[in-house]
Amino acid sequence: MIKAIFFDIDDTLYNSSDLAHHARMNAILAMIDSGLSEKDPKKAYAKFKGIVAKYGSNYPHHLDRLLEELGTPYNPAIIAAGVAAYHDTKLSFIRPFPETIPTLLKLRDLGYSLGVISEGLPVKQWEKLIRLGLTHFFKKVIISDSVGADKSSKLLYEIALKNMGCEPYEAVMVGDKPDRDIETAKSVGLHTVLVSKSRKKTNADFTIKRLVDLLVVIAKIEKKRDAKA
């Protein structure tokens, strides 16, 4: 019997990739309007993506480095324009996928304990859940930086299972990244569900295109376990 279902946040519960693209592009456009030396948004955006890849998404000075790499003298007004545009766009785009809340409601009504297993800065990840309006759905929220283990470590999943009070075979991990969300969870013994529109073969037990399809998958897992009993 399945007792717990864990979810990743980004690109699982909401469209993180779309949000990041639009927020970054609007930041670039605002900076150009405020005096950025590079006037081609596509070139500036490509440079910005390279900086994020180099320093990581949680680095606090991406825009400072962008000015440096584009040869624009430091100007707090340009940076502030980018920061404001980024956050304004983020706030307008951070919405759950249409099927997220109905799916979580149904799973909760069926008696499953729901949790989150996520990587990143705790405040940043909690902010996402709060702005998405989803915090009340989750019994436990496990964030890598809070426990000192990332998704490549079995420890992260073991901590999540202990917090939820269940065994690996009683839990399901749902995420969008085959490496970060599926591989380690599967090695610990959790059932794994990949949310992806790609047809590329992965090690996930199940692959779904939309979160609502998780309801069918859970029913299949329960039926299979009942048949073995």
- Say which residues have a Cβ less than 8 Å from residue 189's Cβ, sequence separation at least 6: 167, 168, 169
Do both 128 and 68 map to the same domain? no
Query: 80: which 2 tokens?
Result: 């502030």
Residue 161 zone, left/alpha/beta (φ > 0; ψ -120 to 50; rest): alpha
Residue 140 sits in a domain of what CATH number?
A: 3.40.50.1000
pLDDT surpasses 60 at 122: yes
Burial class of residue 47 in the structure, from the number of CB atoms within 10 Å of its CB (0-12 exposed, 13-18 middle, 19+ buried) = middle
pLDDT by residue (tens digit) across 129-187?
999 999 999 999 999 999 989 898 999 999 999 999 999 999 999 999 999 899 999 99
Do both 69 and 109 map to the same domain? no
pTM for the full predicted model: 0.92
Residue 78 identity (one-letter amino acid) = I
Distance of CA 214 to CAs 6, 81, 83, 130, 201, Å? 12, 41, 37, 23, 18
Question: In which residue are the tokens 């749902």 written?
Answer: 174
- Band (pLDDT 50/70/90 cuts) for residue 202 is confident
d(CA 114, CA 137): 7
- Band (pLDDT 50/70/90 cuts) for residue 225 is low
Do both 107 and 191 map to the same domain? yes
- Band (pLDDT 50/70/90 cuts) for residue 197 is confident
d(CA 202, CA 149): 24
Q: Find the domain containing 45 and state its range.
A: 16-93
Do both 143 and 213 map to the same domain? yes
d(CA 114, CA 6): 6
Buried-exposed string 127-152: b where 16+ CB fall within 10 A, e elsewhere: ebbeebebeebbebbbbbbebebebe
pLDDT by residue (tens digit) across 70-107?
999 999 999 999 999 999 999 999 999 999 999 999 99
As a whole number of Å, the CA-based R_g of the chain is 20
Of 93, 127, 154, which residue constitutes the final position of a domain?
Answer: 93
In the chain, how many domains are there?
A: 2
Q: How does the average pLDDT of the chain come out, rounded?
A: 94
Residue 226: per-residue pLDDT: 61
Residue 40 sits in a domain of what CATH number?
A: 1.10.150.520
- Say which residues have a Cβ less than 8 Å from residue 159's Cβ, sequence separation at least 6: 142, 147, 149
Do both 47 and 81 map to the same domain? yes
Do both 83 and 161 map to the same domain? no
